[in-house]
Amino acid sequence: MTEQNPTRRTFLVRAIVGTGAIAGAELVPDACAQNNQAQKDANPPAQLHSSGDRHGAFFNHDDAATIAAFTERLMPGAPGKPGAHDAGVVNYIDLALSGAYADLQDFYRRGVAQLDAYCRKTYNEPFVRLQSVRQDEVITALEQGKATEFTWPTAQEFFNIIRTHTMEGMFADPIYGGNKDFAGWRLVGFPGAQPIFTKTDMESKQAFTRTPITGL
Amino acid sequence: MATEKTDVVIVGMGAVGGILAAELGKAGMKVIGMERGPRLTTADFSGQDELRYFQRQDLRPNAKRQPVTWRPNANANAKPLPVLNYGNQAGGGTVHYGAVSWRFHEDDFRPRSQTIERYGASAIPKDSSLVDWPLTYAELEPFYDRAEYELGVSGKAGNLQGRKIEGGNVFEAPRRREHPLPALLADQSGFIFEDGARKLGYHPFSTPRAIISQSYRGRTSCTYCGFCQSFGCHVGAKSSILVTKLPEADATGNFKLLTGTMCFRVNSDNSGRVTGVSYYGADGSNNTIEAELVVLAPFIYDNTRLLLLSKTKKFPNGLANSSGQVGKHLMAHITPRVFATFDDRFVNIYMGPSAQKHSLDDFNADNFDHSGLPFIRGAQISVSPADLEAGPIGAAISMNPPPGIPRWGASYRDFLSNYFARYAAVVAQTENLPYGDQTIDLDPSVHDQWGLPAPRLTYDWRRPNELARIEFMLVKLEELAAAMGATRVWRSPLGSGAPGAHHEGGTRMGDNPKTSVVNRYGQSWDIPNLFIIGSSTFPSMSGFNPTLTIQAFAYMSADAIVNRYRKSPGRLI
């Protein structure tokens, strides 16, 4: 992520590749990997409710790129660990802002504008052009309310809403445009809306790997 | 504009309204039930959708269109609460609740006397309005029994007619017979909670819930899918008013349900009786119902709001308010919690009924000696998912990561990835004392979609007695989580002083018309043909979830109306 590239698609690809290098250490890798793999095998990516970074119901290209970069830093993807891009978080937020969250359209417009104003003032570049380490510094400044240039929404409000919407896009049913191919559910080992668990299921100390994952 | 006549109008078709509709209808009284929201069916709940029902709060009032404001004290500005936890459909909160169904303890009905007898009057904080209830547990017990069997509650007795039974709640008040249904199966979180609690010498048990563990009265049993709290039940195994009492009310032939209606005034005449209600229809029309008897049974805010909105020259301070007590003594549960993660096992806490799963009662009420402690009364302790609901959105939103792990980025992703299926929350639900300056009134500047002033809450739980109790409980929760075998245990932040769950108060019951709004039957001291039934009448709150007690009172009031009030209408029972 050290080079600058003006095209959005290239940027997004780099965002995914770049984050793998700083993925945190696994604490209990085996069971989760087994769980994820078992669910992956049984759930071919047939449900194309969403498509990665697709947008346009609300966001323009630049804003979508900014939100894509931001949400990927919040939930970075890595090999075997789907992140915001893999889950289609931008697509989720884009659709939500054109519907259920339409009253947050200006919140996002102004939030992105203020974010870029802060980044330009501090680093002479908009958010999408910053290296991932710099992007993390910016996000930390927002989270802690230390970023200047924010009036409404405040930096913390903007951070908190994007974080919340990122989690929604990761983990809400794919019908809403995120959690593509159950990427978020695979990440954490959630089997979705299972209509029934048996006594044996509930007595097991092991990862639940019965498939398929069940969505709406 | 329409006017119609009936024997009884009931405002609110939730935990209370459905029971009254069924019981009064069966007794031959013509009943109109008013419900602000829609009437849904089990078929509406086939989609177990965490975004819709947990995160976006479907089945709850819309906090923007139906605002409720809160301020921590009378000098602060009130702001709309972001989330409202009560129901907004026929069946009310019983549609989406976790269905935890407790009987209160014997001393929950006499907390003031119990405290004075054991610790002296000085143990009660000077500013608390703690009082005894106007009846004993023994007087309500037949109606607890009735509610458990009528609705369908699963659990194991811990005290059968005074005989203590291991495996049930040995601290519970004596019951005449077992629950109608055996306890629900435990999941992993229940097993480890059970083991940890026993190691520490406590008395854990499967939480009694209005979720049927076997088929019951034509309904099929729980499938342990885990979508309870926040959700409607996809098989109708949750004993909500929607699937239990509304069909029964329908079958009487005496019940009419008006959905999409907003009652904005209880009408009264100069003789001092109420004559019915006025309401806005779904089409915005302004309508009137004339009734011999008015029963108020909405969520607690709207009892106070309706009484205050209905003031007349004869009742200048609002209806039923000669005592000046309307709107006072607001209470709510606060739920301090710790999170625990396990490295040697999965917990899979998303399996099985999702709210307070397994519980212990050793530190609730006055079940333990408070001598030397800087607080009175206690808390129910349970194991549960992060926010009583067990999906990954709930975990990501409601579970703060442990110290050292940020709320975002690669290490947060890995925390969720590794521990979503390996965590449990251990939660206390505290019995906060009543205080006279914790109130509900009308917001002077915020209005709802009908143009009515929003209910305004003035409330802050952060008082010395309550803070001391919370710190005591957090230490117990940490010890429990460690005894359960957790590798890591950390606290959840406590948040602001805003009210939590299970609101009580505003139309306090008592045995003195000068210091209370209603009698034990919910009958207004001032206006005998007006009844107010629900947790708004609770003089104190218990650490237990209120719904079964609300329902027991509904049965007691229905019995009193049918068998006593009707014989001499317009008189105090």
- pLDDT at residue A38, as a whole number: 53
> Has residue A115 been placed in a domain?
yes
Nearest to A196 among B185, B225, B419 (CB): B225
Angle (CA) B490 B492 B496, round 5°: 155
> Has residue A34 been placed in a domain?
no
CB B387 within 8 A of CB B354: no
> Is B435 strand, coil or helix?
strand
d(CA B438, CA B128): 10
d(CA B482, CA B493): 19
Query: Which whole-number Å values give the CA distances from B489 to A1, B187, B348, in the listed order?
Result: 37, 20, 17
Nearest to B187 among A19, A166, A202 (CB): A202
Q: What is the dihedral of CA A118, A123, A129, A135, to 10 degrees?
A: -70
> Has residue A7 been placed in a domain?
no
B92 phi and psi, to 5 degrees?
A: 55, -145
- pLDDT at residue A52, as a whole number: 62
- pLDDT at residue B483, as a whole number: 98
Angle (CA) A187 B340 B407, round 5°: 50
CB atoms within 10 A of CB A9: 10
- pLDDT at residue A56, as a whole number: 87
CB B3 within 8 A of CB B289: yes
> Has residue A79 been placed in a domain?
yes
* Residue B304 host element (H or E): helix B300-309
CA–centroid distance for B448 within its chain: 23
pLDDT(A152) > 70: yes
- pLDDT at residue A24, as a whole number: 32
- pLDDT at residue B57, as a whole number: 94
> Has residue A37 been placed in a domain?
no
Q: Which amino acid type is present at position B452?
A: L
Q: pLDDT tens digit string along B313-340?
A: 999 999 999 999 999 999 999 999 999 9
Q: How confident is the model at residue A48 (pLDDT cuts 50, 70, 90)?
A: very low
Which residues of chain B from 170 to 199 reach within 8 Å of chain A, CB to CB?
185-188, 191
Residues of chain B with pLDDT under 70: none
d(CA B166, CA B156): 9
Q: Which of A30, A173, A186, A209 to mutate to test the interface with B (most CBs of B within 10 A)?
A: A173
Domain that holds residue A182: 14-20+45-191
- pLDDT at residue B421, as a whole number: 98
> Has residue A30 been placed in a domain?
no
Contacts of A100 in chain B (CB under 8 A): 56
| Interchain proximity A202–B350, CB inside 8 Å | no
- pLDDT at residue A54, as a whole number: 84
- The size of chain B, in residues, is 573
CA–centroid distance for A106 within its chain: 21
Nearest to A190 among B49, B187, B392 (CB): B392
Q: A190 vs chain B: nearest CA distance in angstroms? A: 7
d(CA B384, CA B100): 12
| Interchain proximity A27–B414, CB inside 8 Å | yes
Q: Inform me whether the C-beta atom of residue B387 falls under 8 Å from chain A C-beta atoms.
A: no
Q: pLDDT tens digit string along B164-210?
A: 999 999 999 999 999 999 999 999 999 999 999 999 999 999 999 99
C-alpha atoms less than 13 angstroms from C-alpha of A54 in its C-beta half-sphere: 14
d(CA A158, CA A178): 20
pLDDT(A33) > 70: no
Query: Which whole-number Å values give the CA distances from B127 to B107, B138, B390, in the listed order?
Result: 21, 30, 38
Q: What is the dihedral of CA B197, B202, B208, B212, to 10 degrees?
A: 50
A123 phi and psi, to 5 degrees?
A: -125, 0
Contacts of B49 in chain A (CB under 8 A): 172-173, 175, 193, 216
| Interchain proximity A143–B226, CB inside 8 Å | no
Q: Sign of dihedral through CA atoms B56, B61, B65, B66?
A: negative
Q: Which residue has the higher pLDDT, B539 or A6?
A: B539
Query: Which whole-number Å values give the CA distances from B47 to A173, A186, B97, in the listed order?
Result: 10, 20, 17
Q: How confident is the model at residue A55 (pLDDT cuts 50, 70, 90)?
A: confident
d(CA B340, CA A199): 23
| Interchain proximity B348–A204, CB inside 8 Å | yes
- pLDDT at residue A19, as a whole number: 33
CB atoms within 10 A of CB A21: 11
Q: Which of B227, B235, B348, B349 to mutate to test the interface with A (most CBs of A within 10 A)?
A: B348
Q: Using a cut of 0.90, tell me whether the model's pTM lies above it.
A: yes
> Has residue A1 been placed in a domain?
no
> Average of pLDDT values for A130-149?
97
Query: Which whole-number Å values give the CA distances from B270 to B274, B309, B342, in the listed order?
Result: 9, 17, 67
| Interchain proximity A173–B227, CB inside 8 Å | no
Q: Of A46-55, A98-107, A150-159, where does mean pLDDT reach its minimum?
A: A46-55
> Has residue A29 been placed in a domain?
no
Whether the link from the prior residue into B493 is cis, omega within 30° of 0, is no
Q: What number is the ipTM of this complex? A: 0.95
| Interchain proximity A83–B224, CB inside 8 Å | no
pLDDT(A120) > 80: yes
d(CA B298, CA B289): 17
Strand B3-11 versus strand B31-34 pairing type:
parallel
Which residues of chain B from 197 to 226 reach within 8 Å of chain A, CB to CB?
223-226
- pLDDT at residue B415, as a whole number: 98
Q: Please give the tally of structural domains in chain A.
A: 1
* Residue B427 host element (H or E): strand B423-430
Q: How confident is the model at residue A26 (pLDDT cuts 50, 70, 90)?
A: very low
Q: Inform me whether the C-beta atom of residue B3 falls under 8 Å from chain A C-beta atoms.
A: no
What single string gives the DSSP state of each residue in B477-491?
HHHHHHHTT-SEEEE
Q: Which amino acid type is present at position B427?
A: V
CB B534 within 8 A of CB B300: yes
Strand B31-34 versus strand B69-71 pairing type:
unpaired
> Is B248 strand, coil or helix?
helix
| Interchain proximity A197–B351, CB inside 8 Å | yes
Angle (CA) B355 B359 B360, round 5°: 155
Q: Inform me whether the C-beta atom of residue B400 falls under 8 Å from chain A C-beta atoms.
A: no
Mean pLDDT rounded to a whole number for chain A:
83
- β partners of residue B175: B160
Q: B53 vs chain A: nearest CA distance in angstroms? A: 11
| Interchain proximity A171–B396, CB inside 8 Å | yes
